[in-house]
């Protein structure tokens, strides 16, 4: 017997129209970062929340990265996140395009 699952309707947040939150690739910015045990979640000014696994740092050649080492960070111009404890910069394009994102 087949069971049917209902898909949840996902509504986009309604943001006031200002220069800061226009939804173009150039103007999309990181406004907040949440550090979880196994992933980083970036909140963008267009309402999206995008996550990447922390273990990607190891795949990029950065050893011994943990959520604790990532808790100290700086969001730079909304386009990059700097992690001083591991001296690494993570660009917004990684959240948008994934592991194989081009470096700018």
| pLDDT for residue 71 is more than 60 | yes
| pLDDT for residue 17 is more than 70 | no
Q: Per CATH, the architecture of 27-97 is what?
A: 2-Layer Sandwich (3.30)
What is the C-alpha separation between 86 and 3, in angstroms, rounded? 48
Name which of 23, 33, 16 is nearest 76 in CA terms. 33
Mean pLDDT of the chain: 81
What is the C-alpha separation between 32 and 88, in angstroms, rounded? 18
Q: For residue 14, name the pLDDT band (cuts at 50, 70, 90).
A: very low
Q: For residue 23, name the pLDDT band (cuts at 50, 70, 90).
A: very low
In the chain, domain spans = 27-97
Name which of 88, 95, 20 is nearest 53 in CA terms. 95
């Amino acid at each position: 017997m087949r069971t049917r699952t209902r898909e949840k309707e996902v509504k986009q947040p309604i943001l006031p129209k200002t220069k800061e939150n226009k939804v173009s690739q150039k103007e999309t910015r990181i406004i907040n970062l949440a550090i979880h045990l196994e992933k980083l979640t970036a909140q963008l000014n267009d309402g999206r929340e995008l996550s990447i696994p922390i273990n990607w740092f190891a795949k990029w050649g950065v050893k011994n990265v943990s959520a604790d080492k990532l808790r100290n960070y700086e969001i730079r111009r909304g386009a990059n996140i700097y992690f001083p404890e591991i001296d690494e910069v993570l660009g917004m394009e990684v959240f948008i395009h994934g592991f194989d994102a081009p470096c700018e």
